[in-house]
Amino acid sequence: MSYDVTIFGIDITLKPVAFTLPIGDGWDVYWYGIIIAIGFLGALIYAYTNYKRFNLNIDRALDVVLVTVPVAILCARAYYIIFDGEKLESFGEFFGFGDSSGFAGLGIYGGVIGAFVTGFIMCKLRKVKFTDMFDIASLGFLIGQGVGRWGNFVNQEAFGSLTKGPGMMSNEVLRYIISYPENFGLEGKTAYEISEYITTNNLSVHPCFFYESLWCLTGFVVIHFLSKKRKFSGEVFLMYLAWYGFGRAIIETLRTDSLMIGPFKVSLLLGILLCVASITLIVIIRKKLNEKQAVYENVFDEEIEAEEIIETVTEGEENVQAD
């Protein structure tokens, strides 16, 4: 299987399968999995080179990661199944057994939620300060998501609505549009009419995977530098939620394959909620820290004044005694 893709005017042929191992009838290794692994490795390297700055013990932190990652993947799968309405014929289908598509269908928010819930529990068990762990993990998530989204490009998924501007088109994208014309405002048209309409008007789709990848990698750079001046433990984690939530909510307005809850896009609603809640918490916590600092400075000034009064009185007594 291969996809003939045009993105931003560049023609590319993509093959989802990177290579096949000689195991049984052949075990396909997909580019998607390789790209995800590269993103995960990048996150680990960042954590290993910055753990001291976040006051972490690297051995205990790795223990947390080794348990959290597989659980997060399972949570991402469960999230997708719940909100996609996918019906499983057997328990094995949850893991992709007996399905030619393999372990397909993951919801990133499910992975994020699962990672932080599991991470919290593991931090408690391994006696790691969870807010410090969440801070460094957030930056790792931005690396992983920024790189991992290119796996969607190889699979030709996670794209948006039709546009006359620079975008992406492929035989797989066209197949999807023909299969779900209602998602693109083309209901009632035949496959031929849809193909002609897109070709005649020189239309393509928004490459949402690219937008999100760029947003996450930019966020990593910005938050990395801000993290060097974090005001409190856990602030970087809140910055991540605000940054990713805002970007994902905007990008989700363009998506045509969103997970839904009734008439609403789940990721859009969750993105807005996370962004607003995180910014609110940052403002509240910083305000309280500033108030404490102000009280401390006032007390410090009063102590200085008291010392000056004592010195003045002492000097007066010494002068009286001298007279």
What is the per-residue pLDDT across 56-83, written as a single tens digit (0 to 9) for each?
999 999 999 999 988 988 888 787 777 6
Cβ atoms of 177 and 157 closer than 8 Å = no
Find all residues with CB under 8 Å of 22, minimum gap 6, and list them. none
Residue 54 has pLDDT above 50, yes or no: yes
Distances in whole angstroms, Cα of residue 303 to Cα of each of 202, 289, 291, 296, 299: 75, 21, 18, 11, 6
Strand-pair partners of 168? 7, 205
Please choose, from the candidates 40, 128, 124, 130, the residue with its C-alpha nearest in 3D space to the C-alpha of residue 76. 40
202: left (phi over 0), alpha (psi -120 to 50) or beta: left
Higher pLDDT, 280 or 318: 280
Lowest model confidence (mean pLDDT) among 30-34, 163-167, 185-189, 313-317: 313-317
pLDDT at residue 239 greater than cutoff 50: yes
pLDDT for residue 303 is more than 80: no
Which position has the token pair 């962004």?
Answer: 275
For the chain, give every domain's residue range.
3-322
Tokens at 299, concatenated: 């007390």
- Which range, 71-75, 216-220, 229-233, is most confident? 216-220
Backbone angles phi, psi at 265, to 5 degrees: -80, 120
What is the pLDDT of the chain when averaged over all its residues? 86
Supply the pLDDT for residue 80.
Answer: 75
Nearest C-alpha neighbor of 267 from the set 212, 185, 205, 186: 212
